[in-house]
Amino acid sequence: MCTKGMNCRQWKHLLDEASFSLSLQHPNVIRTYQFVREADGTVYSIMEYCEKDLFTVVQEGSLTAEDIDRLYFQLLSGIAYLHDVAHVAHRDMKLDNLCVDEDGNLKIIDFGCSSTFDPLAPAQTRGVDVWATAVIYLAMVSGHFPWEVAKSEDPNYALYLKYHGRVIDHWLPKDKAANPLIKQMLMIDPAMRPTVDELMHDPWVASLEERFGHAKSRTSSTVSKTTLIGLAQTTKQQELTGIYTHPNSSTSTVSSGLSLSSGY
């Protein structure tokens, strides 16, 4: 991303996203190590390496029922961390914003639309993530999206508005254990959707936790050993500012563990 010509609001948005990304630490949330700003104004983020996004994986048609259940449980675990621990609503959850690493673990990425929320605020403030997660599950199971856009102009969504549960039964058989929960997650009124905490206590999700909850998620990283050594050798003054210049270059860097002010 090029930051030249950015106004104060755009720059604050970038710093907010950087702050989100650097502070998040969960096996199913992408780990961001640094934000690097080059002399020409281009900003790069250095993060874990993931081979594919979930959209590509679904399109390949190689997911087994076991894979779907495991990846979906990892998705719910990541969202539970975002909502209940970080108090962050992602607000742009979709197949393209979910990646799979070389060990087959799901990682939530792209916090450009995210926002923090008051834990005491009404649950509907993060109900959009619950809705999107249900749509993702239907896409993983069927290989297709139930509708292109959730607007009455979309014929498939118009059918859903008219028939609700019967449409879900078409995509997800009634005898599927996930069927009742997915129907709740896709309630039109956000206030009627379960919270992530309620999702995690659902009998079906609890069964997924029994099967996959104790598996360790291993991660890989694009950061080279040289880069990690360079981070470890950051001076105390650099740690306090949060933005520093690499030796022999004019590159400004923000890295995890360093303070990042959004007041610029």
How, if at all, do strands 244-245 and 252-255 pair? Answer: antiparallel
Helix (H) or strand (E) holding 263: none
CA distance 108 to 162: 32
Reading phi first (left if > 0) and then psi (alpha if -120 to 50, else beta), residue 153 is in: alpha
Q: Is 92 a catalytic residue?
A: yes
What separation in angstroms does the CA of 59 have from each of 62, 134, 141, 193, 237? Answer: 8, 18, 11, 28, 48
Of the candidates 16, 67, 84, 92, the residue annotated as catalytic is: 92
Enclosing H/E stretch for 159: helix 155-163
Radius of gyration of the chain (CA): 20
Which residues make Cβ contacts (< 8 Å) with residue 247, sequence separation at least 6?
none
Catalytic positions, written as ranges = 92
